[in-house]
């Protein structure tokens, strides 16, 4: 494809959305944001089961539409034109909308609706949806593009990035593994600003959690459906979600189930944590929730791979760690150059400067490992080992970078006047989270 074709395709659609996004109007957004935060704090969490949309199968292709493989024979670190454009657009969004509102969202344990809507209008959901279903994606698997998107958003704020990306992960999973019916029922609704809030639920509340040994189970019923039982932890956006993708053990190993939040037997309680607070994390308990046979993602046939699903989910957290580590690095460069001690900037001391060098080295390494695994996934090649190594590096170094960032600011790093204490809390999540998101 030529540059022009690229720009004419996805590019123009995204630009068009950006131009028309009402929520980017700054004073308005701030007003809405304040309103949402106030309501959110007042009402708190609710037991779900009321105001839900009816997901209806729209007329669509009778065969599931799978994204194509994207690959090349040369080593290349240059993003495509459309990836670069998404990156620039979202970097602007992250700097102007996420960063200034991050502390308020962290305190309120909620991301303003206007921000979620603005993110959707930028096309991050539509990109997962095939053109035949009304989206702007589908030609190529968007794992690398999603990594670039996640990194850009997390440079603004990790918690709000999780809130924005939770539905994107569900959409990407439906695109990759959903049946034709699941795609026409659910995937087609992710294309505009009215996209449903949705989240992936894998993690369970116990030490040494292993996503390959789930307590949550889906038992087959005589009628051919399933009964879902179990408890999921730190599910982003759970209270407002209309749709869950739930990992549960079956007689055929772990599988994913599409669960509408209106189903009977779903109990949601707020589970605020050390970080990720803007993502409104919650416990979700499934008490004998009755599901139709059609709830099984991929319908039990085809190419669903739980290993690949878990690996792509881990990669989302890696990409977020890269973005927030980069934010920390940039913040430290400015701070350490401006902070004077003993008559000169503290950046003139090797003990300070070398710490920043190491943060830069590890952040770059984290990005390269994440990209490598994402590119392999996009090309349809094995990537489980590469994703595992990316996760190891991002969890270890990301956490260290969060700690170093606070340390370099000293007492100023410990107070909420600066964002680094939040980055410290958010980066700790990377090695803990399973599910929640997906690239």
Partner 1 sequence: MINLENPKKFRGLVDQAHQVAKEIFRPNSRKYDLAEHEYPKELDILGALLDGMHASGAGEGAGAAGVRRDSVEDQGNRNSSNLSTALGTMELCWGDVGFLLTMPRQGLGNSAIASVANDEQLKRFAGRWAAMAITEPHCGSDSAAIRCSATKDGDHYVLNGDKIFVTSGDRADLVVVWATLDRNIGRAAVKSFVVEKGTPGLELVRLEHKLGIRASDTVQFALRDCRVHKDNLLGDPEINVEKGFAGVMQTFDNTRPLVAAMGVGLARACLEETRKTLEQAGIVIDYNRPAMVQSAAAAQFMAMEADYEAARLLTMQAAWMADNRKPNSLQASMAKAKAGRSCVDIALKCVELCGSIGYGEGELLEKWARDSKILDIFEGTQQIQLLIIARRLLGKTSAELK
Binding site for partner 1 (CB under 8 A): 70-80, 83, 144, 208-212, 307, 310-311, 329, 333, 336-337, 344, 347-348, 350, 353-354, 356-358, 360-362, 364-366, 368-369, 371-372, 374-376, 379, 384-390, 392-393, 396
The CA distance from 420 to 426, in Å, is: 10
Supply φ then ψ for residue 151, to 5 degrees.
-60, -45
CB of 381 to partner 1, least distance (A): 8
CB-wise, 99 or 339, nearer to partner 1? 339
Phi-psi sector, 234: left (phi>0), alpha (psi -120 to 50), beta: left
CB of 195 to partner 1, least distance (A): 27
Q: Which two tokens stand for residue 149?
A: 């998107």
CB-wise, 5 or 337, nearer to partner 1? 337
CB of 362 to partner 1, least distance (A): 7
CB of 245 to partner 1, least distance (A): 19
CB-wise, 53 or 385, nearer to partner 1? 385
CB of 321 to partner 1, least distance (A): 13
CB-wise, 84 or 107, nearer to partner 1? 84
List C-alpha distances in Å: 103 to 116, 157, 275, 404: 16, 9, 11, 20
CB of 16 to partner 1, least distance (A): 24
CB-wise, 295 or 393, nearer to partner 1? 393
Instruction: Please provide the DSSP assignment of 298-318 as one string.
Output: GGG-TT--HHHHHHHHHHHHH
CB of 310 to partner 1, least distance (A): 7
CB-wise, 51 or 341, nearer to partner 1? 341
Q: Give me the residue label for tokens 């070398």.
A: 354
Q: Which two tokens stand for residue 244?
A: 């869950």
- 135: helix, strand or coil: coil
The CA distance from 8 to 370, in Å, is: 29
CB-wise, 291 or 394, nearer to partner 1? 394
Q: What angle do CA 255, 256, 260 make, to 5 degrees?
A: 150
Closest to 239 in 3D by CA, of 426, 33, 429, 49: 49
Q: Which residues of 344-365 are buried (b: 16+ CB within 10 A; e: fewer)?
A: eebbeeeebeebbeebbebbee
């Amino acid at each position: 494809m030529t540059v022009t074709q690229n720009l004419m395709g996805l590019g123009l659609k995204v630009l068009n959305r950006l131009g028309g996004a009402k929520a980017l109007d700054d004073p308005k957004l701030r007003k809405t944001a304040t309103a949402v935060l106030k309501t959110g704090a007042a009402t708190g969490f609710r037991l779900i089961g009321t105001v839900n949309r009816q997901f209806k199968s729209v007329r669509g292709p009778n065969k599931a539409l799978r994204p194509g493989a994207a690959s090349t024979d040369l080593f290349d670190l240059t993003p495509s034109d459309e990836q670069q454009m998404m990156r620039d657009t979202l970097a602007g969004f992250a700097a102007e909308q996420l960063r200034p509102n991050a502390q308020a969202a962290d305190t309120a344990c909620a991301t303003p609706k206007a921000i979620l809507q603005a993110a959707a209008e930028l096309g991050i959901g539509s990109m997962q949806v095939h053109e035949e279903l009304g989206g702007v994606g589908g030609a190529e698997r968007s794992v690398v593009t999603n990594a670039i998107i996640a990194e850009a958003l997390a440079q603004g704020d990790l918690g709000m990035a999780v809130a924005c990306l939770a539905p994107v992960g569900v959409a990407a999973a439906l695109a990759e593994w959903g049946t034709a019916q699941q795609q026409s029922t659910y995937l087609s609704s992710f294309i505009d600003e009215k996209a449903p809030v949705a989240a992936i639920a894998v993690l369970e509340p116990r030490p040494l959690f292993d996503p390959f040994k789930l307590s949550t189970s889906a038992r087959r019923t005589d009628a051919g459906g399933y009964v879902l039982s179990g408890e999921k932890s730190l599910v982003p956006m759970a209270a407002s979600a209309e749709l869950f993708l739930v990992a549960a053990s079956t007689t055929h190993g772990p599988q994913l189930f599409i669960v509408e939040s209106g189903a009977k037997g779903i109990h949601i309680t707020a589970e605020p944590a050390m970080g990720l607070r803007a993502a409104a994390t919650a416990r979700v308990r499934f008490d004998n929730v009755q599901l139709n046979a059609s709830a099984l993602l991929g319908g039990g046939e085809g190419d669903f791979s739980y290993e690949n699903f878990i690996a792509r989910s881990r990669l989302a957290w890696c990409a977020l760690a890269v973005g927030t580590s980069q934010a920390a690095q940039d913040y430290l460069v400015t701070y350490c150059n401006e902070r004077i001690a003993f008559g000169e900037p503290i950046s003139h001391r090797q003990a300070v400067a070398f710490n920043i060098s190491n943060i830069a080295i590890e952040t770059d390494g984290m990005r390269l490992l994440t990209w490598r695994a994402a590119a392999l996934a996009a090309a349809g090649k094995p990537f489980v080992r590469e994703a595992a190594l990316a996760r190891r590096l991002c969890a270890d170094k990301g956490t260290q970078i969060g700690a170093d960032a606070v340390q370099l600011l000293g007492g100023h790093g410990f107070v909420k006047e600066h964002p680094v204490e939040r980055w410290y809390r958010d980066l700790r999540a990377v090695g803990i989270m399973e599910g929640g998101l997906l690239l």
